[in-house]
Amino acid sequence: MRLSSLLYFYGRRLRRRPVQELLAGLGIAIGVALVLAVQVANSSITDASTSIVRGIAGTATLQLRSRDSNGFDEALLAKVHHLPGVARAAPILEQGATLVGRSDRSVAVDLASAAPALLRLDGGIVRNISVHDLTSPGVMLPTATAAALGLSPAAFQAGEGAAPRVTLNVRGQAHSVPVLAVLGPESIGALSNAMAAISPIWWEQKITGLGSRDTRILVKTEPGRQAQVESELRTLAAGRLTVAPADQDVALLKQAVTPNTEATGFFALVSAIVGFLLAFNAMLLTVPERRRMIADLRIQGLRPRQLATMLLFQALCLGVMASLVGLVAGDVLSRTIFHTTPSYLATAFPLGTQTVVGLSAVLISFAGGVIATCLAAAPPLFDLRRSRAVDAVYSEDEEPGQALDHRAQVRLFLVGVIVMLATNGLLIFWPSGIVVATIGLALGTLLAIPLAFRLALRLAERLASLTPRLNTLAVAVRALRATTIRSLALAATGAIAVFGCVVAEDSHYDLLHGLYSDYSEYVSTANLWVVNSHDDLATVSFPTGTLPARIASIPGVSSARAYQGGFLDFAGRRVWVIARDASTRGIIPVSQLEEGASFTPETRLREGGWITVSQQIATAHHVRPGDMLTLPTPTGPTAFHIAATTTNLGWTSGAIILNSADYRKAWGTTDASALEIDTRPGANVESVKRAVQQTLGPNAAFKVQSSGERAAQADALARQGLSRMSQISLMLMIAAALAMAAAMGAGIWQRRSTLASLRIQGFSVGQLRAILAYESLLVLGTGALAGAVSGVYGHLLSDRFLRLTTGFPAPFAIAGAHTVQTILVIVFAALLALAIPGYVASGVSPQLALER
Amino acid sequence: MLELEGVVKHYSGPGGEVVRAVDGISLSIRAGEIVALHGPSGSGKSTLLMLAAALMKPDAGRMRFEGVDLTLMSANVTADYQREQIGFIYQSFHLMAEVPAVENAAIKLLANRVPLKQARRAAVPWLERVGLGKRLDHTPDRLSGGERQRVAIARALISEPRLILADEPTGSLDTRRGGEILALLADICDQQKAAMLLVTHDSQATAIADRVYAMRDGKLALGEMDSGPPEPLRQRVPG
């Protein structure tokens, strides 16, 4: 058949059955949009960050890096300069800081200061910054940062009056500093989207009290001498500094976002499965009619290949159109709803905010949509295997093309069970194959629907026979039997919708619950905390001086102790280090222990020489509790015994806990990153909090928080970090309810002639409504029940995935009420949306039956 | 042209009993010959037509068209046979719902890669001959039962088949229109030397037949219809 003929026939089909095509297209578009949006949103974090890191590093390929925020002596720069093979070297001092602008708007920034030498590395970002800019005291802000602080770039361009000032909170002190410029993309490219502040290095050294200190030296080597320079740098570092590629932050960020990407990706995959299965079911609604078409054309002598071409061409047209719509919707989603940068990462990495749409994401989403459509359109092709066309459809019982006999139902059920067992059996040998198991579970659920539906109809029939007043129920059962494929497609739509929602909603709930429990336990070690503002994980250090002693003397305070911590780049990860005083009650959050509880890890940590590590770190290094692990600390490689393994404590790259004495020795510093305050029994915590705030003084850049406030803040941070999952869950629920309502609505609308036939047999409008209500309840009820049962198991798998693959704390709990609530919301929304077509269809004129 | 030899086709009935739809029928039809079948419902007439169209396989016996064994043909060759050699007028039409009359009639040409416009042009005279010149762009749901039947007739004839298999071709038509259609079919058989196997309850239809068979319980017997000898319609066909 010619292309023009194929196009013509598809055009006719589209005009004739727009609702069916629209429904199928909608399901595909939803799936494609979710897959693209999640991919784009996830990759945008790292792509934007890559632009920033590489734009700063320019032609430098190596870096010498401090292992803590105190840096190293800047005299090292001269030694680097003199190494054979070094062409250029530029120092950088970086600190985590907070800026406070107009109307007390505040934002956490990466305070990066550079010397004019940085300009000679030809980084794309700093190319347009002048030597003068890097010598004047003050900060330059990227447009995104300025906007977050309420500063307008226009004011700077017009040169109106004196430079505006902002408050810079760094290392525990607040400074009022001038804003020298707001730098847009024309000046600093991708960095204009970052939360950062750029300042001259001499000035930052002065205000941070880190005189003559740098945290990084970027090194450009002479051609062909990189290996030699790297070796020399290692000698110079003497095990106390990190020698790494200049863009190492990119790799570390990619590692850090991987668990979040995987978790979000898993949710997106569940959504995509649901989207594609909804599309599949929408296509299934058209199967009887497609089968009849195939049979009609076969008896006219069309070859099987011609029919397959025609069917696949129609699927391709639908798939391409729906996938294109999905791509546009996905792009909009990624730029709007999904356009959030996880705040928890901002304390550890330079993050950008622009959306980067990669070609691979577009191709994967598009191809996925088209392939899924072709697969969904394929079932009628089975008829082509039959040797005789008429047998395929017209020899069957019931309405032509609708039949699915009992043997086929049992076979499908058995295939479903085998698929579920096989894919879940894989988990024994391949524990991380949970994605495959979830797909198997969804498919198995789909295949089990015919038998489940048959049982539901039998029960309903039995009920109707026992209760004479339920004669309309008996009619409804007959009607559903006569249109088996259509009824099954509708029930399967409900099952898949409920399955997806239960998995996504309940796992998301568990994850948030797990993170909240973790943080609550982590901060419960003190009644009050003193931390740098916006330093959610307490990783930015400051000199404590006499502060602990002064706080300890406040009435109502029983003790004040230093909490130490920070980030450590360790074997390709930026690990969160938590160091706690041996007197702290509950050094380790017990609920987060994975392995080694029998080792009494708490006691060992107090003794010293022992640490806990996240399970992913232990797995990566092939160590277990009792083994030794050597950490690259600022004083050199230091070996520790592993007391236990934990979850990732909410930090995606993993965490290490040790006692403060070990930390002080290995990190060579007494600087704290927070102060933990215990109040005396009976003391008013609020009064003590105010007293501590007064003791800190007006120039302190600290925040005093109760453990409850800190847990709530961490919870908000976790919710923001996981907001994409919440959005996916919500969208899935809306899509599921709409898909069910649309499919049922279309089904009811198609049956108007049958309803009209009942009317001419004397059925009243009220009886027709009762029949439609019974039909809807039977279909939705069977689907929802099957979806809920498999959804609970899917929820278990999903939690396992989150724990094993991502390391997040996600304890499985059957949230019965939450699950029921999810199901009720979907079914109720679907029934509500169904009321209109049901009401209109039940009022059908008997004339319609006579016309047909 | 078409030779059936001891052809048997059995079905399983709802209670498991064997229904002998076609029970050892032998029949031979020559080019240009019209053979009519009549008999009560369920006597196996339609089954015999479907066997002749290679839409079913017989349980026993041999069926040959132009010497080729229909039971041994591959799926593709069967499709070619159905598309190019035979024109089947189905009792229940089997029209494509979303497609207008003219493309329904032209479907076999489209399957033969004839461009759409050309196929439409070729279908128009056939639809005009069956009296549907003004219904070319009507979809089946906008046509009456009789009009649908005439579209199905035009579709069967458009490929100028060597063998016409007609299952109650006048069943949905009034007497006048039925007579015209039968005259047209007879005319085509005359001019194109096509053979026709015609299943009918219409006494008019047997008038155009060279041979008339009665079918009962799957068996064939030479005989006229119970309603008596028909008017010799064929002789009245002009030209």
Same domain, A387 and A488: no
Q: Copy the structure tokens of residue A831.
A: 């029934």
Residue of A nearest to B96 (CA): A293
d(CA A735, CA A313): 27
- Among candidates B96, B115, B116 on the partner chain, residue whose Cβ is nearest the Cβ of A293: B96
Sign of the torsion angle spanned by Cα atoms A36, A38, A39, A43: positive
Q: According to the model, what pLDDT value does residue B3 have?
A: 93
**d(CA B200, nearest CA chain A) in Å:** 20
Residue of B nearest to A289 (CA): B97
Q: According to the model, what pLDDT value does residue B235 have?
A: 44
Interface of B with A (CB under 8 A): 50, 53, 55-57, 75-76, 79-84, 86, 88, 90, 94-100, 103, 107-108, 110-111, 113, 115-116, 119, 139, 155
CB contact under 8 A, A304 and B81: no
d(CA B48, CA B58): 9
Chain A residues close to B79, C-beta within 8 Å? 298, 301-304
**d(CA B226, nearest CA chain A) in Å:** 31
Q: Provide the pLDDT confidence category of residue A675 given band limits of 50, 70 and 90.
A: very high
- Return the top range by mean pLDDT from A127-141, A556-570, B106-120: A556-570
Q: According to the model, what pLDDT value does residue A69 have?
A: 86
β partners of residue A62: A219, A245
**Residue spans per domain, chain B:** 2-97+145-236
Same domain, A734 and A851: yes
Residues A452/A781, Cβ–Cβ less than 8 Å:
no
CB contact under 8 A, B110 and A5: yes
Q: According to the model, what pLDDT value does residue B237 have?
A: 39
Quick check: is A349 in a domain?
Answer: yes
Give the model confidence (pLDDT) of A459-481 as tens digits.
Answer: 998 888 887 777 788 888 877 87
Quick check: is A673 in a domain?
Answer: yes
Quick check: is A636 in a domain?
Answer: yes
Same domain, A593 and A683: yes
CB contact under 8 A, B97 and A15: no
Same domain, A71 and A219: yes
Q: According to the model, what pLDDT value does residue B239 have?
A: 32
Chain A residues close to B108, C-beta within 8 Å? 300-301
- Return the top range by mean pLDDT from A216-230, A247-261, A385-399, A410-424: A216-230
Domain of residue A355 covers 1-58+248-403
Q: According to the model, what pLDDT value does residue A480 have?
A: 80
HSE-CB for B216 with a 13 A CA cutoff:
5
pTM of the model: 0.65
pLDDT above 90 for B15: no
Q: Copy the structure tokens of residue B232.
A: 């010799």
- Among candidates A8, A13, A300 on the partner chain, residue whose Cβ is nearest the Cβ of B83: A300
| Pairing label, strands B163-167, B195-199 | parallel
Same domain, A560 and A504: no
Same domain, A229 and A217: yes
CB contact under 8 A, A303 and B75: yes
Same domain, A120 and A174: yes
CB contact under 8 A, A391 and B56: yes
Task: Give the distance from CA A607 to its chain's centroid.
Answer: 39
- Domain tally for chain A? 4
Which residue of A292, A300, A313 is the best one to mutate when testing the B interface, meaning the one whose CB has the most B CBs within 10 A? Answer: A300
Q: According to the model, what pLDDT value does residue A461 have?
A: 86
| Pairing label, strands B211-216, B219-222 | antiparallel
Q: According to the model, what pLDDT value does residue A478 have?
A: 78
Residues A345/A351, Cβ–Cβ less than 8 Å:
yes
Quick check: is A418 in a domain?
Answer: no
φ, ψ for residue A42, nearest 5 deg: -70, -45
d(CA A56, CA A429): 45
Answer whether A397 touches B (CB < 8 Å).
no
Q: Provide the pLDDT confidence category of residue A66 given band limits of 50, 70 and 90.
A: very high
HSE-CB for A240 with a 13 A CA cutoff:
14
Answer whether A390 touches B (CB < 8 Å).
yes
CB contact under 8 A, A299 and B97: no
Quick check: is A779 in a domain?
Answer: yes
CB contact under 8 A, B113 and A299: no
Q: Provide the pLDDT confidence category of residue B229 given band limits of 50, 70 and 90.
A: very low
Q: Copy the structure tokens of residue A214.
A: 């740098």
Number of H helices, E strands in chain A: 29, 21
Residues A494/A644, Cβ–Cβ less than 8 Å:
no
d(CA B76, CA A387): 11
Instruction: Name residues whose C-beta falls within 8 Å of residue A13's C-beta, 6 or more positions apart in sequence.
Output: A21, A314, B98
Q: According to the model, what pLDDT value does residue B228 have?
A: 42
Q: Of the given ranges (A577-586, A714-723, B18-27), which has the lowest mean pLDDT?
A: A714-723
- As to burial, measured by CB atoms within 10 angstroms (0-12 exposed, 13-18 middle, 19+ buried), residue B69 is exposed
Q: Which of A662, A681, A700 is where one domain is finished? A: A700
Quick check: is A17 in a domain?
Answer: yes
DSSP helix/strand/coil, A166: strand
- Among candidates A1, A17, A296 on the partner chain, residue whose Cβ is nearest the Cβ of B111: A1
Q: Which of A230, A245, A260 is where one domain is finished? A: A245
Mean pLDDT for the stretch of residues B181-193? 86
Q: Which of A245, A262, A281 is where one domain is finished? A: A245
Which class is domain B2-97+145-236?
A: alpha beta
CB contact under 8 A, B76 and A303: yes
pLDDT above 60 for A200: yes
Same domain, A42 and A85: no
- Among candidates A1, A16, A389 on the partner chain, residue whose Cβ is nearest the Cβ of B98: A16
Mean pLDDT for the stretch of residues A527-536? 86
CB contact under 8 A, B75 and A13: no
| Pairing label, strands A72-73, A213-214 | antiparallel
Same domain, A720 and A677: no
Give the model confidence (pLDDT) of A307-363 as tens digits.
Answer: 888 888 988 998 999 999 989 988 888 777 766 666 666 666 655 556 667 788 889
Same domain, A86 and A219: yes
CB contact under 8 A, B98 and A301: no
- Among candidates B55, B95, B111 on the partner chain, residue whose Cβ is nearest the Cβ of A306: B111
φ, ψ for residue B53, nearest 5 deg: -85, 0
**d(CA B99, nearest CA chain A) in Å:** 6
Same domain, A620 and A738: no
Chain A residues close to B94, C-beta within 8 Å? 295-296, 299-300
CB contact under 8 A, A5 and B139: no
Same domain, A267 and A164: no
